[in-house]
Structure 1
């Protein structure tokens, strides 16, 4: 897997949820802060996003917006004033209300709104540095993969066909990746867009993520990348903020946490997969990083997942 795929896999839990909403007239709805990431795609019409503590964002047909940290926000037909925002209808009640005729009237606004469940207990720094709101306007020729995913979603949701229960979640997963890719391609500020475009650091990360259990050393990694050890250390540490072997240790433990969360594999098998010779060695390092033994960590994660299921 590549770094972005690994970063997403480390935090993703469960399947995304979505609502398709049609509305016209004057409206205003609030989405409370969420332990995950929210997204909206405007399939038709225009509206406004008003993030908590942020500037209003106008949204047009084909626009996508990702709220990667679950920021609370308001969606409205216009840049609503403070009084209107206070009267905003909670989204769960608003989206489920089939009463008003204008809710399904031709014209107005059509939205795809949804959430991704994320476990932030061991988020990759690439995910952590995403801004509160990632707005991706629909511009001719920009982000063709994202545009294609939005078009496919719109068509799939227009007429539910056999297999849509599999197709829609898969397309929503693609949408998540394409929104982050598009943000990076837009010249995003932050360390990780620079990390993944630097040939030396990117090659080193690809090698570490492709085989984290390998017996890596600084010399072996430098040889793999094709640079001297001092060059690797300088470039990698300067951009990533950690030395290569320090990053590898952190990633191995993060990967172990993901496997404890998502699988029933025994600790010995997980230790082998992430490069530790014995379960004891992994347990000792894991407790130092996460403040809990692997067994306790797994039990707590399963308890939280059961409570939110």
Structure 2
């Protein structure tokens, strides 16, 4: 039977961390956000805004913030990890002694760790000591700004321990946010990681002036890549037809609110990686890093992921996007499902 969760800590005050904290508060939970920068914590606490990440959004009164991780985690019944995937290990290592032993750990991070090739729930389990399958993973078509403005959306909460997923589901259900549960953690996490890479490719195509046919082709062939890798790693193929697969892929590849798509668009227009990063306020899109780790993971299992490989070559080997586009179109002809 799922345990009721009332006090929730969200570690990370970026757009998605803040938006998910708002969802939890709107669902009637008492929420504390940890912000790395004290001025952001003060703004959330005093002004009930986080203008740098979610301009024009009023945050609920029961949502507060601090830059002290010990204070943030004191008494938490659920802890939401909302930091970038490649910095999750370092951050969580510094927090391990502060985590309440009975708290449900929830991951918002979408990526595959460079070097170890671990999914985020595996990193969390390793560092925290929570058994494999005990971390709740959140994924789906969840563009932060739209959710923060109360636009209707759905998500998937995946955990092998179904009661934990149900507890988070009950704590995050609102009139505009509908969470579903799932036990396929592998599929949900791989969908969330891979879609960022495919969104980069869609952005590049848009930046080069290509239209809807190209986008639809990249989305569907990207979905095929995701499903091939997921199935090889033991995921349920149906997961990739759901919110954490196709749903998240369509949203991230299509919306100008998607950081990965926007970053890719700059690269497609001819910007260098450094120029695109400066235009994004110094932030690198998750897909830029994940394309390398996902490529390596796929290679280790003998899975063909040509779009992912192309994104790695553009981002990390300096290959012109037009060249890799021509190479993708010139690949050996084959059956669609082979």
Give the alignment's TM-score, normalised by structure 2.
0.28
Report 1 or 2 for greater relative contact order, CA contacts < 8 Å, sequence distance ≥ 6: 1
> Quick check: which one's strand share is greater?
1
